[in-house]
Amino acid sequence: MRSGNVRVGEQGMVSAELALALPTVVVTALVVLAFGSAGASGVQACNLARAAARAQAIGQALPHAGGMELSVQAGANSVRATAVKQLPGPLKAMGVIAKCSAEAPREPTL
């Protein structure tokens, strides 16, 4: 028996399919956002490490770390800086961090 264009027994199928598919879409979007955030944090850590190594190599003040852990080791001929950032959300619970190191040669002093 037909009721309009919908067969009897198939009413509500779209709602059921949507109810099953929507959580998958939401979880996928959250995973993409989390890893996008991790990538952006990695870029920020590298930028900070590069700027800190360069600043120390030419004798300037270190840049503001902005919530990251920054360590600088000065050698005789070069300076090495490492920046570490704890990632937010579920990645923090998994122990994932953004870490980057940069090295710059020391500039001669006058």
* Cβ pair 105, 58 in contact under 8 A: no
**Rounded-to-integer distance, Cα 82 and Cα 68, Å:** 10
* Cβ pair 105, 77 in contact under 8 A: yes
**Rounded-to-integer distance, Cα 73 and Cα 109, Å:** 18
* Cβ pair 45, 84 in contact under 8 A: yes
The helix/strand/coil state of 81 is strand
Q: Would the pLDDT of 110 be above 70?
A: no
Q: Residue 88 — pLDDT band, cuts 50, 70, 90? A: confident
Segment 89-107 mean pLDDT: 90
Q: Given this model, what pLDDT does residue 92 score?
A: 83
Q: What is the pLDDT of residues 23-80, one digit of tens each?
A: 999 999 998 998 898 999 999 999 999 999 999 999 899 998 888 999 999 998 999 9
Q: Residue 67: left if φ>0, alpha if ψ -120 to 50, beta else—which one?
A: left
Q: Given this model, what pLDDT does residue 28 score?
A: 94
List helix spans (H) across 1-110.
13-57, 90-93
Q: Given this model, what pLDDT does residue 72 score?
A: 95
Name the residue ranges covered by the structural domains of the chain: 11-105
Q: Would the pLDDT of 14 be above 90?
A: no
